[in-house]
Structure 1
Amino acid sequence: MLTLGNLSPKEGAVKEKKRLGRGPGSGHGKTAGRGHKGAKSRSGYKSKPGFEGGQMPLQRRLPKRGFYNKFSIEYTIISLSQLEKLTEVAEINNDTLREAGLLKPGQLSKVLANGEITRAVTVCVDKISRQAQQKIEQAGGTVTLVSALEE
């Protein structure tokens, strides 16, 4: 009868641990599979990520491409059709856009003229396109720009 006391894995399922440095009869004695001399044979050896034994590493062999401008400013684009959906809000600013889920904290906003706006709203954002500003003013609204440095 099979009980918890006599359970054992299937024959050949479990491999015995390789016992290194336990004499010549084990097949892994003396140098314990580390070879002779060199950094890898010493205790405490650690290789840096990407180190290829002195050969020029892959990350240095590959050509560099492109340019990353660390001074560029990225804006989250908001369309007029999205502003039209915010019906209960009369003044639209970055805080109301964050509450509506259109803007994440720390992001800057730019309004583009995608869609139409039919009601008068006060829009206070970081940037706005000329056409979007014209459409808002035609609907009877006003536009003010907030400097990104003020926040």
Structure 2
Amino acid sequence: MLTLGNLSPKEGSTKQVKRLGRGPGSGHGKTAGRGHKGFKARSGSGVKPGFEGGQMPLQRRLPKRGFTNIFKAEYSLVSLSQLDSFEKDSVVTVDALVAAGFVKKNNLVKVLANGELKTALTVEVNKASASAKAQIEAAGGTLKIIE
């Protein structure tokens, strides 16, 4: 029976590894196939990714594009189906969402209209989509936008 303990590669599919620097009789002794001196003979050397022999590399020849706005407001998204897990007539704040594990601490929160909301809730978040606001109010709840 074939098990993991007696697996072996197919005959002829593997070769012995080339053992470098093991004496003159091996054929790969002394310089171990690296030749005499020079950049490629040194330890830790080798052509780095992107090196073009001293020519200005492509990633430095191409122009930079775009920019990153460091003041951009990132919102954590919460769906209506997640809000539906709260009890009826409860107040859902950002802290309550953090405690429930839906968002991380110190994040801005936006409610999106994914899923359905069947319970009446008072929702206090930083932002909400228009359709999410309509569904919260249709379920008998209220939405309060906080700054």
Short-chain TM bin:
0.5 to 0.7
Cα distance, 1:125 vs. partner?
1.1
Q: Deviations over 1:37-86 (max 9, x none)?
A: 321223x4434752545466575688977765544333232233332331
Q: Which residue of 2 aligns with 1:22?
A: 23
Secondary structure of the residue aligned to 1:72 is coil
Taking every aligned residue pair, what percent have the same amino acid on both sides? 48
Contact 1:78 1:102 (8 Å CA) reproduced: yes
Structure number with larger C-alpha Rg: 1
Q: Which residue of 2 aligns with 1:38?
A: 38
Secondary structure of the residue aligned to 2:84 is helix
Q: Deviations over 1:85-109 (max 9, x none)?
A: 3126711012222333322345432
Q: Which residue of 2 aligns with 1:136?
A: 136
Letter in 2 for 1:46: S
- Tell me the TM-score normalized by structure 2: 0.58
Structure 1 alignment gaps of length 5 or more: 1-12
Tell me the distance in 2 between the aligned counterparts of 1:134 and 1:29.
79
The Cα RMSD (Å) is 4.1
Q: Which residue of 2 aligns with 1:111?
A: 111
Letter in 1 for 2:83: L
Q: 1:102 to 1:140 in 2, by over 3 A?
A: closer
Quick check: 1:76 aligned with 2:76? yes
Tell me the distance in 2 between the aligned counterparts of 1:121 and 1:62.
54
Tell me the distance in 2 between the aligned counterparts of 1:101 and 1:79.
13
Tell me the distance in 2 between the aligned counterparts of 1:56 and 1:124.
55
